[in-house]
Amino acid sequence: MIRFVCLLFLIAPLYGQDRMQWFQHDKFGMFIHWGPYSYLAGEWKGQQIPVGTEAEWIMQRFNIPVAEYREMAHNLNPVQFDAKAWVALAKATGMKYLVITAKHHDGFAMYASKVSKYNIVDWTPFHRDPLMELSQECKKAGIRFCVYYSHREDWDHPDGFGNNWDYPRQGKNFDRYLEEKSKPQLRELLTNYGPLGLVWFDRGMDTPEHTRQFVDLVRQLQPQCLINGRVGSYGADLMGDYQNMNDNGMPTGGLQEYWETPQTLNTTWGFSKFDQQWKTPADVIHRMVEIVSKGGNYLLNIGPMADGTIPAASVATLRGVGEWMQKNSESIYGTSASPLADPNWGRITVKGDALFLHVFSWPADGKLRIAGLINDALEAHPLLDSANRLAVSKSYGTTLISLPVRPINSPDTVIVLRVNGTPKAEPTVITQGSDTPLLLDYSSAVTSGRAMKRFNRDGGFHIAKWMGPSDSATWQVLVSQAGQYHLRIRYAAGAESKGDRYRISVGHQVAEGQVLPTGDGYQYSTVDLKTLVLKSGRISVTIAPVSQLGHNLMFLHSLELVPDGPIMVE
Ligand code: H79
């Protein structure tokens, strides 16, 4: 029995890894928001959704009665819809997966559902199933077909979350909604459309128990299908396969888990006739490279019109991105995050012993500077001109590359730099200004063991997953002002961590503390630990649990060394 359990432990993470391979490789997906809200296009009885807010929220925003919204939904008739053309556009843009709203918060199903007549086949004159057509075209094109399903929010069902204008909150039986609609529809999607790449849930779930039921349903019907992080209750630990940043969110980097950021092409997800704030191909390429340079995936949205037309401005932008991808995608697919700090001229992606230097702004002196790279440079050339060997040198820890006079492929010219072995960075050293606290947070930490830098789904970042003394985080700190410092720790912790001991070494000095729970979710609070006297000079600071724990020690936000008043010069 014990042996069997051990075997499961060995295999389980491998299974997870295996499932994640395509996701990690592919980087770039198309998100599609399409539903009855697309017909309203941001306007209801003369009232407009302001540019900058979500047009697919129109039912909730204007408290449109269910009866009236249902009546409106009969008008959806996307006669211009062309699954082949949509998939071809995704493919030409370099996107490798496609996620479409099977049901958004308004409760309308964009596929042939037997669970509720409130779906595009039964409710509209269109009588076709766009998800079936898209899934078939995706299969032909080698694009992974995926669905978005809003599993908690439903403004149409009397027991769903969110519609308190038609259905008072007090009378709701949420379990009934889950059993009658949410789970049966998810079951249909997992059964009728072939293998799904992933299911994209939204807005979390109310409890970990309910979340578990959705995770189990996906695992049971399609074990290879990925589950996004928003399946879960936001206060609890991740129960999906990867994290999502907030809508349009961008981390500062350093995350050590699988993640994806959903982003808009203008400022809304569902189509709005008012929103013309389109991103340019350069904007999209720069965002994509930034995301990939930090180890994430980019899920970029289009909001087709009610008739099935994709707005011309979106098509134009995607075509521009596609032209760049056609030539440069080697520097995107299958790459991983750069270990180096963000350079001011662009971003860096990494594959094997190659660094792809994405130059967004051309250095005026023609010299590209890369700080903190430990490896020796072997050779450099533009990705699109491999015969053009560029001179490389190293001086005072900075690698210098002499660039061609002009960019080869604006808005992002890629230079390939080959080095000896896997690219490694000099550790970040935290320095201090005058009388300012030294902040030791996730971004400059080096983690060991199981300790991981993570996103918390409330929009913050922390270090978690420490279970024993070998799971640690370390910072290199340059103290320039000798004197007295207050050591502070900022963290969130659940009840299970109460009394857990942790140890912080600051140079040769040691401080110990015991975890105090901070409540449910990620309610960070700051605790003063100890006053220390520090000399000036370089020290390392390390934190780890004192003993083996059966659970996570804490969600560490940061350590702080706060100078105690004016400081005497040594
Ligand atoms: O599907 C897209 C959004 O509709 C969905 N997620 C992406 C992928 C989403 N669900 N919830 N939220 C986004 C956040 C909710 C924001 C809100 Fe509001 C702020 C809801 C009410 C206030 C923005 C402003 C929307 C309506 C008014």
Q: Which residues of the chain have pLDDT under 70?
A: 1-17, 565-570
Instruction: Give the span between the Cα atoms of 480 and 7, in whole angstroms.
Output: 51
Question: What is the 297 CA–ligand 1 centroid distance (Å)?
Answer: 21
Residue carrying the six token digits 């199903």: 109
According to the model, what pLDDT value does residue 570 have? Answer: 43
Q: Which residues contact 52 (CB under 8 A, 6 or more apart)?
A: 267, 275, 277
Q: Is 315 in a helix, a strand, or coil?
A: helix
CA angle at residue 259 from 204 to 445, to 5 degrees?
115
Q: Cα dist. 163→58, 152, 168, 185 in Å?
A: 12, 12, 8, 19
According to the model, what pLDDT value does residue 17 have? Answer: 64
Name the residue ranges covered by the structural domains of the chain. 2-328, 338-419, 429-564
Query: Which residue type sits at 77?
Result: N
According to the model, what pLDDT value does residue 406 have? Answer: 86
Q: Is the peptide bond before 343 cis (omega within 30 degrees of 0)?
A: no
Question: What is the 457 CA–ligand 1 centroid distance (Å)?
Answer: 14
Q: Are strands 413-419 and 354-359 parallel, antiparallel or unpaired?
A: antiparallel
For atom 13 of ligand 1, the residue with the nearest CA is: 247
Contact at 8 Å (CB) between 321 and 93? yes
According to the model, what pLDDT value does residue 105 have? Answer: 98
Architecture of domain 429-564: Sandwich (2.60)
Residue 494: how many other CB atoms lie within 10 Å: 20
According to the model, what pLDDT value does residue 253 have? Answer: 84
Six-digit token string for 404: 């061609």
Instruction: Give the span between the Cα atoms of 36 and 109, in whole angstroms.
Output: 10
For atom 22 of ligand 1, the residue with the nearest CA is: 61
2-328 under CATH 3.20.20.80, yes or no: yes
Torsion of CA 358, 361, 366, 367, to 10 degrees: -60
For ligand 1, which residues put their CB under 6 angstroms from it?
A: 33, 53-54, 56-57, 61, 202-203, 247, 262, 269
Residue 175: how many other CB atoms lie within 10 Å: 10
What fold, for 338-419? Immunoglobulin-like (2.60.40)
- Please state the pTM of the whole predicted model: 0.93
Question: What is the 262 CA–ligand 1 centroid distance (Å)?
Answer: 12
Question: Closest ligand 1 atom, CA of 101?
Answer: 1
